[in-house]
Amino acid sequence: MPLIQMRTVYLKLSLNFTAFGRWIASVAAIAVLVITSPALSAAIPPEPASTALQLEAMLGRMTLPEKLGQLTLEWGGRINDTNPQIAQSKTEELHTLIREGKIGAFLGAHGAAYTNELQKIAVEGSRLGIPLLFGNDVIHGYNTIFPIPLAEACTWSPELVEAAAAAAAAEARASGTRWTFAPMVDIARDPRWGRVAEGSGEDPYLGSVMAAARVRGFQGDDPFAADKVLACAKHYVAYGAAEGGRDYNTVDLSRRTLREIYLPPFQAAVEAGVGSIMSAFNEINGVPATANRFALTDVLRGEWNFDGFVVSDYNSVGELVPHGYADSPARAAALAILAGVDMDMCSKTYSAHLQEMTQDGTVSDSVINEAVRRVLRSKLRIGLFQQPYADPAVEASLRSSQAHQELALSLARSSIVLLKNEGNLLPLRTDLRTLAVIGPLADDTKNPHGTWAGIGAGAAAVTVLEAIKARVSPETSVRFVKGCDLAGVHEDDITGAVAVASKADAVVLVVGEPESYSGEAHCRTNLQLPGTQLDLVKGVHRTGVPTIVVLMNGRPLSVAWTAEHVPALVEAWHLGAQSGNAVADVLFGKFNPAGKLAITIPRNVGQVPIYYNHKNTGRPPSEDRWTSKYLDTPWTPLFPFGFGLSYTEFAYSDLRISPLEADMDDNLVLSATIRNKGDRAGHEVVQLYFRDIVASITRPVKELKGFRRIWLEPGQATRVEFSLPVHRLGFYNSRSEYVVEPGRFKVWIGPNSVNGLEGALTVQRR
C-alpha cells in the first residue's frame, strides 16, 4: 500500500476535527516510520510511544459499535475466487457491515481477488479505513498439502516443520489470508480423539519444540514480510484431555497436570512470539475455557506477559449457555470478554450484546478499549495497514510451486515410521518379477491428504501404486487389486486380492483410515482397521508371500494382529500431496526411514489413555498377581513413544554425566557415543530422558528432556551432548510452585522411551 494512501487512511480520523486532525496526521506520519522499522524479535519489545499514541488516536475516534466491530470475526463466505458460499443478499449484507465498521475480521474468505474486494470496502469505503484481518485454517499446507501435524512431529525435526509452516504461510498470504488458526499445540494422550491428527502427540517437551517451530515458520523474524501470516496457538487449553476422547467434552484434571502437561506448548508458542491464542471449546474443572479467567488472564497475560489477542473458537462464546455457565447470550458475551477473550468468532454475541452490557455497567469501557487495542496492535504489527491487499500475481505463481512439492516430499519421507522389518524384508528390490499392490488406499488420490487439507484437497495426491510403477524395473509386473473398500462392509474382492497375492514375489498392502475419520468431531471408540480391511490382511497373509503392510491413518491404530503376523509394517500416516512418492522411496530404499513415534500405539482401545510418561503406582506391573496390569493383554504398548526402526543399526555407548553431584544452579552436561554399525547412512533421533526417583509429588517413570537428530555414515561414530540446567528437572508442588527438589535422578540416553543407556546423578541443595 503506498505510504500516501496509508496516510489518507489515518487522515479519515480527523473528519470534522481540524486541529485534532492535524495532530492525528502527525501521529500517523510517525506511525509510518514505526511500521517500516526493523522486525520485532520473538520476545516482543515494549511498544514505541508513537504506536501507543496512534492506538489511542484511533480509539478516541471510534464509536462503540465500531469498537465492537474490531472484536467481531465473521464467516467470509468464499472458498476460492470462483466458489461463492453465500447468497448475493448475504454478500450485500456483509458489504454493508464492512462499510459501517462492524466487522474486523473474517474466516472462510479465500483468494486474492475476493479478499481484495472485501478489503477495498474496508480501507476505502468505511469511515475509519481500518483494514480487515482474514484468517483461515492453514493446518498442514495451503495449496501444497504437507503431512498431517502428527506425522510431521514424527520427524523430530523442528527445522523441517518450520520450513513447511513457512511454505504454507507464503501460499496462504498470497491468497489473501493474513492469519492462520494454527498451530494446534494440544497434547493428546487419547487416540480416540479425532483431533489427535492436528497436534504433535503426547509429550509436552516435543510438543513445545514443534509449537515454537511452527510459530517461527508462520510468522518469521519479520512480521511485515510479504510471505508471512499471523499465527494462532490453539486450543487454549487442555482440549486434548477431553473425557472419553470425545470432541468438545469435559476436561477435569489437576492444576498440576494442567501446568506440567497441557500448558507448556502454549507457553513455548508465546515465547516464540505467537501473535494470537484461540480459546478452547471444553471446560476445565467446571469453568469453560472461553470464560476461564485463570487461564486467559492470570496465566496467559499475568505470568507469561502475552500481549497479542485472544480469539474464541467457533461459537464458543455462545456455547457458554448450553455449558450451563451463562443464562443468556448477553451474559455469555460479558463473561468471555471479562475473562480475556478479545475477539468473538461467529457467535455474534459481542456485536449483539456488549453495547447493552457496557451501557448497564456490566462491562466497563476500559475492558472494551483494551480488547480493541490488542486487535489493532496486532494489525499494526503485521503491517496490515501498510499492505492490506494480496497480490494476484504472487498467488498464481505459488499455486503449483515445485520447491514446495519437493519440501512436501522431504517432510513426508521423514515422517514415515518403520515399525517392523523382520528378516530385513525391506527395502525391496526394484527388479522383482511380480509385485502385488493391494488395498483400498493403494490407488487413492484423496484420502492421503488427511484432515483439514483445505484448498489443496482438490489436487490429486501421488498414489502408492503410481509411485511404485515409476520405480520398479520395466521387467517387473505390478498387479493391483483394491481388495475391499476403505470403510465399507459390503461384498469385497478379497478372494481376488488373495489370488493375485499368491502369484507375486512380494505384496505391498496399503490399508488405513479415510481422512474423514480424523479431525474435528471425528472421534472413534474402535481403533482397529475400519470395515473388512483386517480380513484382507489376514487373507493375504495366509498366502505365505512376503507382505509389507503400509498404514495410512490420522491416529494410532490398534493393529496387534497385523504387527504380530506380517513381517514388515510401515506407519505412513496421512502424508499429503507426495504420499505415494514418500512411501515408495522408503519401500525401495531410496530413503532410509528415520521417523520416531510422537505418540504411543496401543494394543487395543482398552489400554487408552496410554502414554509413556505415566506414574509408577504403588504396585508397578510385574509377574506377581497383585500388580497394575491386565488379565487379557500385556500392559505395555504395541509400540512405545519415540520408537522407530532404520535400515541400519545404531549402537549407543559410553554414557557420561557431569557433574554427578550437582547444585541447584549447575548446568548438566550429558553425552553418549552413537555409532552406525550398519552398511547404510541414516538419521538417528537420540533421546534424553530423566526420572526424579523420590519427590514430594510423585513423578513420571520417564520425562523427555531433549533430543538430537543426527546423520551418520556407515561405520561413523559421534558423541552427542546435551546441556541441561538443573532448573529443568523441576515440577509443580502442592502449592502450584515450580520447584527443584534435591535428591537422586535417573538418566537415559537412547533411541526411544524404553531402551537406552542408563545412569544416575544427585542434585543437592548448597
The conformation of residue 743, written as its DSSP 8-state character, comes to E
Indicate if the pLDDT at residue 614 is higher than 70. Answer: yes
Of the candidates 88, 94, 92, 95, the residue with the CA atom closest to the CA atom of residue 75: 94
In this structure, is residue 113 part of a structural domain?
no
**Cβ(599)–Cβ(579) under 8 Å?**
no
pLDDT recorded at residue 8: 34
Report how far apart, in Å, the C-alpha atoms of 668 and of each of 214, 613, 710 are: 28, 22, 21
**Cβ(675)–Cβ(646) under 8 Å?**
no
Mean pLDDT in residue range 285-304? 98
pLDDT recorded at residue 357: 97
pLDDT recorded at residue 52: 80
Euclidean distance between the first and the last CA atom of the chain, given in angstroms as a whole number: 60
CATH number reported for the structural domain that contains residue 685 in this entry = 2.60.40.10
Distance CA(388)–CA(221), nearest Å, equals 20
Indicate if the pLDDT at residue 621 is higher than 60. Answer: yes
pLDDT recorded at residue 54: 83
The conformation of residue 230, written as its DSSP 8-state character, comes to B
Q: To the nearest 10°, the Cα dihedral for 278, 239, 518, 578?
A: 50
- The angle, 0 to 180 degrees and rounded to 10, between the axes of the packed helices 18-35 and 365-381 is 50
603/697 same-domain check: no
**Cβ(508)–Cβ(537) under 8 Å?**
no
Q: Where are the alpha helices (DSSP H) in 62-106?
A: 64-70, 88-99
In this structure, is residue 487 part of a structural domain?
yes
Q: Where are the beta strands (DSSP E) in 72-161?
A: 72-78, 105-109, 133-136
Indicate if the pLDDT at residue 292 is higher than 80. Answer: yes
Q: To the nearest 10°, the Cα dihedral for 350, 355, 358, 360?
A: -120
Indicate if the pLDDT at residue 660 is higher than 60. Answer: yes
Asked which of 607, 636, 667 is the last residue of a domain, the reply is 607
Report how far apart, in Å, the C-alpha atoms of 736 and of each of 432, 702, 756 are: 62, 21, 32
Distance CA(150)–CA(525), nearest Å, equals 19
In this structure, is residue 473 part of a structural domain?
yes
Task: Specify the number of domains making up the chain.
Answer: 2
Banded pLDDT at 23 (limits 50, 70, 90): very low
Of the candidates 255, 268, 271, 273, the residue with the CA atom closest to the CA atom of residue 218: 273
Distance CA(88)–CA(226), nearest Å, equals 32
Of the candidates 572, 563, 536, the residue with the CA atom closest to the CA atom of residue 634: 563
pLDDT recorded at residue 566: 98
Asked which of 607, 633, 667 is the last residue of a domain, the reply is 607
Order of strands, sheet of 309-311, starting from the edge strand that comes earlier in the sequence: 232-236, 276-279, 309-311
The conformation of residue 426, written as its DSSP 8-state character, comes to P
Q: How many CA atoms lie within 13 A of 81 on its CB side?
A: 12
695/584 same-domain check: no
674/752 same-domain check: yes
Indicate if the pLDDT at residue 655 is higher than 70. Answer: yes
Catalytic sites, residue numbers: 313
Residue with cell 468473538: 344
730/598 same-domain check: no
In this structure, is residue 19 part of a structural domain?
no
Banded pLDDT at 488 (limits 50, 70, 90): confident
pLDDT recorded at residue 2: 36
Which has the minimum average pLDDT: 16-25, 511-520, 522-531?
16-25
The grid coordinates listed for 277 are: 491464542
pLDDT recorded at residue 6: 34
598/719 same-domain check: no
CATH number reported for the structural domain that contains residue 491 in this entry = 3.40.50.1700
In this structure, is residue 78 part of a structural domain?
no
Indicate if the pLDDT at residue 26 is higher than 70. Answer: no
In this structure, is residue 696 part of a structural domain?
yes
**Cβ(738)–Cβ(732) under 8 Å?**
yes
The grid coordinates listed for 238 are: 487442555
Distance CA(105)–CA(94), nearest Å, equals 11
Per residue, the 3-state secondary structure of 396-413, as one string, reads HHHCCCHHHHHHHHHHHH
**Other C-beta atoms within 10 Å of 624: how many?**
9
Of the candidates 643, 660, 686, the residue with the CA atom closest to the CA atom of residue 759: 660
435/508 same-domain check: yes
- Identify the three-state secondary structure at position 678: coil
Strands 506-512 and 105-109: unpaired
In this structure, is residue 621 part of a structural domain?
no
**Cβ(272)–Cβ(216) under 8 Å?**
yes
| Per-residue pLDDT tens digits for 395-422 | 999 999 999 999 999 999 999 999 999 9
pLDDT recorded at residue 90: 77
Report how far apart, in Å, the C-alpha atoms of 266 and of each of 175, 336, 572, 599, 674 are: 28, 20, 28, 19, 33
Of the candidates 335, 332, 341, 347, the residue with the CA atom closest to the CA atom of residue 370: 341
DSSP string, 590-632: SS------SSPBPSSGGG-S--SS----SS---SSSSSS--SS
426/568 same-domain check: yes
710/592 same-domain check: no
602/658 same-domain check: no
pLDDT recorded at residue 434: 98
Mean pLDDT in residue range 498-521? 98
Mean pLDDT in residue range 179-201? 98
Identity of residue 294: F
Report how far apart, in Å, the C-alpha atoms of 554 and of each of 162, 192, 198, 519 are: 21, 10, 9, 8
Q: To the nearest 10°, the Cα dihedral for 671, 672, 673, 679?
A: -120
pLDDT recorded at residue 49: 67
Of the candidates 601, 618, 617, the residue with the CA atom closest to the CA atom of residue 609: 601
538/686 same-domain check: no
Distance CA(724)–CA(204), nearest Å, equals 16
Of the candidates 100, 45, 111, the residue with the CA atom closest to the CA atom of residue 76: 111
Q: How many CA atoms lie within 13 A of 240 on its CB side?
A: 30
Report how far apart, in Å, the C-alpha atoms of 208 and of each of 48, 595, 686, 717 are: 30, 18, 17, 29
Indicate if the pLDDT at residue 98 is higher than 70. Answer: yes
Q: Where are the alpha helices (DSSP H) in 492-532?
A: 494-502
501/586 same-domain check: yes
Indicate if the pLDDT at residue 174 is higher than 90. Answer: yes
Indicate if the pLDDT at residue 455 is higher than 50. Answer: yes
pTM tops 0.85: yes
566/683 same-domain check: no
Mean pLDDT in residue range 155-177? 98
Identity of residue 144: T
The grid coordinates listed for 23 are: 495532530
In this structure, is residue 471 part of a structural domain?
yes
Q: Whole domain around residue 759: which residue ranges? A: 650-764
Distance CA(671)–CA(720), nearest Å, equals 5
Indicate if the pLDDT at residue 137 is higher than 70. Answer: yes
Indicate if the pLDDT at residue 585 is higher than 80. Answer: yes
Mean pLDDT in residue range 718-746? 97
The conformation of residue 726, written as its DSSP 8-state character, comes to G
Q: What is the mean pLDDT of the chain?
A: 92
Of the candidates 301, 295, 427, 298, the residue with the CA atom closest to the CA atom of residue 373: 301
| Per-residue pLDDT tens digits for 55-87 | 899 999 999 999 999 999 999 876 554 445 565
Strands 417-421 and 568-571: antiparallel
The conformation of residue 100, written as its DSSP 8-state character, comes to T
Indicate if the pLDDT at residue 447 is higher than 90. Answer: yes
Asked which of 607, 636, 671 is the last residue of a domain, the reply is 607
The grid coordinates listed for 34 are: 514505526
pLDDT recorded at residue 89: 63
